[in-house]
Structure 1
């Protein structure tokens, strides 16, 4: 994904170059962000050369039954040294032997080519991704939260998600519905988020991995970038968690008479922080996806979706496998379609794939962005066969670090509107499968001229009937 200008409310930050950690798939603060260009085909090797990845690192998966000698020979071909054996609890549950993160003195793409052999299932770069009733809350009543409005709400906007219409019908979400936010961290003490942030009842803070999921004291989630339980850095580094905090506010901002509200007034949100100062890697994205997969299997938690407002790497078999494990676990993977290239114009994902939204797993919902007047946001990627739906993504107010609120733009902002819609539907349809919820999201879309032939539904998010 090529990073684009990031306009940080009041400040202008211009980032150039190509990121392959998790491109905050679309945050313009007025954030016109990340986009991932890749191909889920034989051309992916060539595309990989245009993607950023961690230097001198590759992910290697050996074929089942490969001998220790054969594995050693494969590593010797690239002078490789195993840095980490990634074997998540979810992988173990599927009988998977895991993936090896390997350090090599060779350039990553050269190492990928040389590592291939009969004993190797796949070898790939370790890609880098970057950041894609009625309420009395201030930003709702002053006209700023247009993404929450409906045709008949006050204030009103026909191009909003119609969440206000659902609230008026009595559906404001449920704390029994859980979503994972795979992103930066979340300011879990933010007054508009705190009541809806997950606290792990299975692992009290005592320095012991009580639930034996491999993560000690994961009280609100886990920081896979820092490999600790500090999901919010706070202090001078708290602004690094602006994006994740913003996403959380759109999904589940509390209706408390101040600030903003989310699509759900009641929901439970788990922080899966894998985006750090320099983005996030494939290796950590896999762990984050599988963390949710394992929580659902281990504790029977009602995790219905993960929000993925990021992109930037090429096709990754390791990440694709993790998304498929989420599908088996009945967890939707809602992903930003991405923000176009350096020209600021959205790209056609049917022509040039943007991952992870282009993964073909049935649980993926790929989201484009629209404006408050119904146009497709100029930066938003699209695709008649690869993008599913549009949602509010331009000038979106939500929570940010240090108890603040900011306006961002991007497919990153559109995506949590849809994730919020997933949670809202699950609240009123507690037995619905992931497939049924996805069908409800797509089938209820309102036909929108700017999205005709630009996404499979041809329309925008509409949760009024949820």
Structure 2
């Protein structure tokens, strides 16, 4: 096959937003453990209360084997009523019979948590945090030589600070349809000209109004919208969101190399949408369901889901979210996460979900085409693993368009794409093997020295040889 790695001209680049997956507020290091039952630190409570969460709503995990009477006693303390029980198929598969209760209460969230402290029936209670991204307009347009994030020092076109994906393509590595990636984000325009051949069609659930695969989601053809609770992963503005952000992420991971527009790190890959961010953001409860959706697909059907892309942030420490990411880790699914766009040090002011200390989490900072750390990018010598292209990144957006965005949200899918490309040449690779391949092959970069764990930037081609 002749590899054409030069056509990076956008077909109809539109002026787009500088994407900022903004963490709504920083949180104190004391929040590295849950500010839930047993926490008496007033400073921790104050910091946690500054983080946006659903008003009058808690996530409550009861200890195993609690009676209905015990549950009633717990809820009576706060005048609470259960609005939803989250018991995903992944939780059930792993022996969890209690799930997580979404509890509505007339009390303020932290007042309710304080009233529940010391309850022997409860494993944890926490806010239902909200996660966001924001976008603002920029007048930047792109023509030729614009997809710098895919280039390397020896490619044509060239940029030494790109991901070097183009060198991998030139060597014959362009991905595999047998490798699956979950996009936990906004929705994705799955029929975009650059993505229409890359999206999963669920073979286990025919479109007939029935839950044929028994996963709790009816006709989840290409994934699920956990924000809207339906199978429409692309709403094109009908619900107040254009799904631009998720579509942009998808194009970087797996845009088709079809001679026009953009090309993703993988020319061949299978993408699945786990939409959980809508017009008003996305909640912890929805994020948990999205993560477990992919874990269940892998455990139940054996789909080769190697990673999820997580270009979002917000809220404080969530034990429930940590547990969901841990379940994904145990299933062999990488969790690639944006470091955040506040320009702060994640070693000092923690950022979630990128700060969760789990083997499958890789936290990504953003660099520009000169190799400098993005002015907005968060960093951390102990908590942010590496840098990747995240400034002036052109990719797919809704309504068949192309846009240039900035953000650690844009850096993250370069790494997710590298994970998928590695998996295509290393079938059965474990989380530990994938993590080592990505992080041990970085190119030392002055702007990242002392700012990331590795002190380096992504090199897709080098990772493949690990």
- 8 A contact 1:238–1:402 mirrored in 2: no
Q: Deviations over 1:152-181 (max 9, x none)?
A: 111100000000000000000111000100
Separation in 2 of the partners of 1:84 and 1:393?
38
Quote how far apart the aligned CAs of 1:142 are.
Answer: 1.2
In structure 2, which of residues 393, 407, 414 is the aligned counterpart of residue 396 of structure 1? 393
Separation in 2 of the partners of 1:10 and 1:332?
33
Report the equivalent of 1:51: 51
In structure 1, which of residues 34, 56, 66 is the aligned counterpart of residue 22 of structure 2? 34
Report the equivalent of 1:184: 186
| TM-score normalized by the length of structure 2 | 0.90
SS of equivalent to 1:125: strand
- 8 A contact 1:385–1:456 mirrored in 2: yes
Report the equivalent of 1:338: 340
Aligned length: 431
Query: Structure 2 unaligned runs (5+)?
Result: 1-12, 34-38, 135-140
Q: Deviations over 1:430-453 (max 9, x none)?
A: 121111011100000000000001
Quote how far apart the aligned CAs of 1:45 are.
Answer: 3.5
Quote how far apart the aligned CAs of 1:211 are.
Answer: 0.8
Q: Deviations over 1:26-47 (max 9, x none)?
A: xxx2223412633313665443
Separation in 1 of the partners of 2:232 and 2:240?
11
Superposition pairs of residues 307-456 of structure 1, within 5 angstroms: 307-340=309-342, 346-456=343-453
SS of equivalent to 2:200: coil
- 8 A contact 1:131–1:183 mirrored in 2: no
The alignment status of 1:251 with 2:253, answered yes or no, reads yes
Quote how far apart the aligned CAs of 1:141 are.
Answer: 8.2
Quote how far apart the aligned CAs of 1:361 are.
Answer: 1.0
Quote how far apart the aligned CAs of 1:238 are.
Answer: 7.6
Superposition pairs of residues 155-304 of structure 1, within 5 angstroms: 155-234=157-236, 236-237=238-239, 239-304=241-306
Quote how far apart the aligned CAs of 1:208 are.
Answer: 1.0
Q: Deviations over 1:248-294 (max 9, x none)?
A: 00000000111111000000010000000000000000000000000
Separation in 1 of the partners of 2:428 and 2:399?
37
Worse overlay, 139-148 or 56-65 = 139-148
SS of equivalent to 2:179: strand
Report the equivalent of 2:81: 81
- 8 A contact 1:367–1:415 mirrored in 2: yes
Quote how far apart the aligned CAs of 1:109 are.
Answer: 1.5
- 8 A contact 1:9–1:30 mirrored in 2: no
Q: Deviations over 1:75-124 (max 9, x none)?
A: 01110000001000000111112000000011111112212311111100
Report the equivalent of 1:119: 121
Q: CA RMSD in A?
A: 1.7
Report the equivalent of 1:65: 65
Superposition pairs of residues 132-171 of structure 1, within 5 angstroms: 142-171=144-173
Query: Structure 1 unaligned runs (5+)?
Result: 1-7, 12-28, 133-138, 341-345
Runs of 4+ more than 6 Å apart: none
SS of equivalent to 2:154: coil
Separation in 2 of the partners of 1:63 and 1:51?
27
| TM-score normalized by the length of structure 1 | 0.90
- 8 A contact 1:141–1:155 mirrored in 2: no
Quote how far apart the aligned CAs of 1:50 are.
Answer: 1.4
Worse overlay, 58-67 or 289-298 = 58-67
